Amino acid sequence: MPRIDRVAVNGIEINVASAGVGPAVVLIHGFPHTWRLWSSVIPALSRSARVIAPDLRGLGDSTRAASGYDLATLGSDLSVLLDEFGVERAAVVGIDLGGPVAFHHALSNPAAVRCAVLIECLLGRLPGAEGFLADGPPWWFGFHSVPGLAETVLEGHESEYVGWFLENGTADKKGVPAAIRDAFVDAYSGRESLACAFRHYRAMPGNGKQLVDALRDRRLTVPTMAIGAKPIGSTLAMQLEPVADDLSSHLIEDCGHIVPLEQPAALLELIEPFLARHP
Whether residue 194 is contained in a domain is answered as no
Give pLDDT, residue 164: 98
pLDDT digits (tens, 9 = 90+) for 19-61: 999 999 999 999 999 999 999 999 999 999 999 999 999 999 9
- For residue 232, with 0-12 CB atoms within 10 Å meaning exposed, 13-18 middle and 19 or more buried, which class applies? buried
Whether residue 62 is predicted with pLDDT greater than 90 in this model: the reply is yes
Whether residue 174 is contained in a domain is answered as no
Whether residue 1 is predicted with pLDDT greater than 90 in this model: the reply is no
Contact (Cβ atoms closer than 8 angstroms) between residue 262 and residue 272: no
Question: What is the mean pLDDT of the segment spanning 147-155?
Answer: 97
Rounded Cα distance, 13 and 30, in Å: 18
DSSP structure class, residue 176: S
Whether residue 73 is predicted with pLDDT greater than 90 in this model: the reply is yes
Whether residue 196 is contained in a domain is answered as no
Contact (Cβ atoms closer than 8 angstroms) between residue 225 and residue 270: yes
Question: What is the mean pLDDT of the segment spanning 172-197?
Answer: 97
Give pLDDT, residue 230: 97
Domain range holding 13? 3-133+206-277
Give the residues across from 228 on adjacent strands: 251
pLDDT band at 105 (very low <50, low <70, confident <90, very high): very high
pLDDT band at 252 (very low <50, low <70, confident <90, very high): very high
Whether residue 32 is contained in a domain is answered as yes
Whether residue 151 is contained in a domain is answered as no
CATH of the domain at 64: 3.40.50.1820
Whether residue 87 is contained in a domain is answered as yes
Give the residues across from 93 on adjacent strands: 27, 117
Q: Please state, rounded to an integer, the average pLDDT across all residues of the chain.
A: 97
- For residue 157, with 0-12 CB atoms within 10 Å meaning exposed, 13-18 middle and 19 or more buried, which class applies? exposed
- Percentage of the chain exceeding pLDDT 70: 100
The backbone torsions φ and ψ at residue 208, rounded to the nearest 5 degrees and listed phi first, read -60, -40
Q: Does the predicted model carry a pTM greater than 0.85?
A: yes
Count of domains in the chain?
A: 1
Instruction: Return the number of other C-beta atoms located less than 10 Å from residue 218's C-beta.
Output: 11
Rounded Cα distance, 251 and 35, in Å: 23
Question: What is the mean pLDDT of the segment spanning 61-81?
Answer: 98
Rounded Cα distance, 211 and 171, in Å: 30
Instruction: List the Cα angle 213/216/220 in 5-degree steps.
Output: 95
Alpha helices in the chain (DSSP H): 42-45, 71-84, 98-108, 139-145, 149-154, 158-168, 178-187, 191-202, 204-214, 235-240, 259-262, 264-277
By C-alpha distance, which of 161, 163, 160 is closest to 177?
163
Rounded Cα distance, 139 and 239, in Å: 21
Whether residue 185 is contained in a domain is answered as no
pLDDT band at 153 (very low <50, low <70, confident <90, very high): very high
By C-alpha distance, which of 76, 73, 105, 80 is closest to 91?
105
